[in-house]
Amino acid sequence: IEIPLAYYPTPIRFSVAFYTIRILGIAASAVVLVVMVHEITTLYVRLIQALRGQRREREARQVTGDAVAASIAHEVKQPLTAIITTADAGSFFLDRDVPDLDRVREALARIAADGHRAGEVIENIRASFRNEVRNRTLVDINELIRDALLLEQDDLSKHKILVQVEPSHHLPQVRANRVQLQQVLLNLIANAIASMAAREQPRTLHLASSTHDDEVMVSIADTGAGVGAQNGERIFSPHFTTRPEGMGMGLSICRYIVEAHEGRLWFAPNMPQGAIFYFTLGAEARDDPTERHAAPEAS
Ligand code: ADP
């Protein structure tokens, strides 16, 4: 505006043209000023948004990293403890006057098996955090229950826990990641053992499998302390624990795995004492549709 006006002859002071040129000059600089202020403010707002986004992304990456680290620490603890215990037993048999080489060989085989299991667990945690649906095979849940009980047998006998298994003999197989389902069972059994170990009452662990509609259902019942009414669903939150040595990751990992298999995990009080944890999984093929049990109410 100002440049073309500069070519006009200078108007007489205080005339209409004089004031018009002044007003146009002020308007021109005001427009430039307002546009520049607006542009600069917009740039700063975008910069702040970009920085906040970057920070959020960094925090989210850190949280995922923490979750992976916590899961690895939690899941690998069990096979590592088993390796240490078996190694101690192995050295004991070796240090005898007449070393019992058969028992030592057996201990070494168990150590190797537990080492492989720890490796598989780590590989599976990596896979699950990458959202991979792989390594799913047809799994026999009753066989999985037997294997999990074998792995926990030392702890079960140490705490003098009576084990009752009530498998459904016509259970359809499920398509699932075997190692992950084994982790779920081991976590739920370990929780039941920990809950019963804290009490002097008769200790009974009852595992059952059944079919319900197109689902396979597993229940793990204990006669332990039970879940306090004030805790409810909170027990499934990461880092929630009521145990001094607990990490609070077990149940959240279990729920994550079961839901990744399109199943559900919940608990209900056991009568007269303890807790029952249930989980369901979609069945792949039904052998015998006649066997059906009613599913108990979700808590
Ligand atoms: P952690 O075992 O490390 O505490 P979990 O996520 O496995 O972590 O369990 C969270 C909490 O849920 C436990 O601290 C306990 O209070 C409660 N809980 C889990 N299983 C049982 C059970 N079978 N009986 C009673 N309480 C349980």
Residues 32-54: pLDDT tens digits? 999 999 999 999 999 998 888 77
Q: What is the pTM assigned to this prediction?
A: 0.65
pLDDT at 11: 77
Local structure of residue 234 (DSSP, 8 states): G
| Ligand 1 center–CA 21 separation, angstroms | 81
Model confidence band, residue 57 (pLDDT cutoffs 50, 70, 90): low
Whether 209 shows a pLDDT value over 70: the answer reads yes
For residue 214, the number of C-alpha atoms closer than 13 Å in the C-beta half-sphere is 6
Whether 129 shows a pLDDT value over 70: the answer reads no
Cα dihedral 193/164/295/128 (nearest 10): 50
Mutate to test the pocket of ligand 1, among 71, 186, 227 (most ligand atoms within 8 A of CB): 227
- Write out the two tokens for 176: 């699932």
Over the stretch 198-207, which tens digit does the pLDDT of each residue have? Answer: 888 889 999 9
Rounded distance between C-alpha atoms, residue 64 and residue 57, angstroms: 11
Q: Whose CA is nearest to atom 16 of ligand 1?
A: 242
Q: Whose CA is nearest to atom 24 of ligand 1?
A: 226
| Ligand 1 center–CA 98 separation, angstroms | 44
pLDDT at 292: 40
| Ligand 1 center–CA 156 separation, angstroms | 17
- Write out the two tokens for 166: 């009530």
Omega within 30 of 0 (cis) for the link into 272: yes
Q: Is ligand 1 within 6 A of the CB of residue 79?
A: no
Whether 294 shows a pLDDT value over 70: the answer reads no
Q: Percent of the chain scored above 70 by pLDDT?
A: 89
- Write out the two tokens for 268: 């209900």
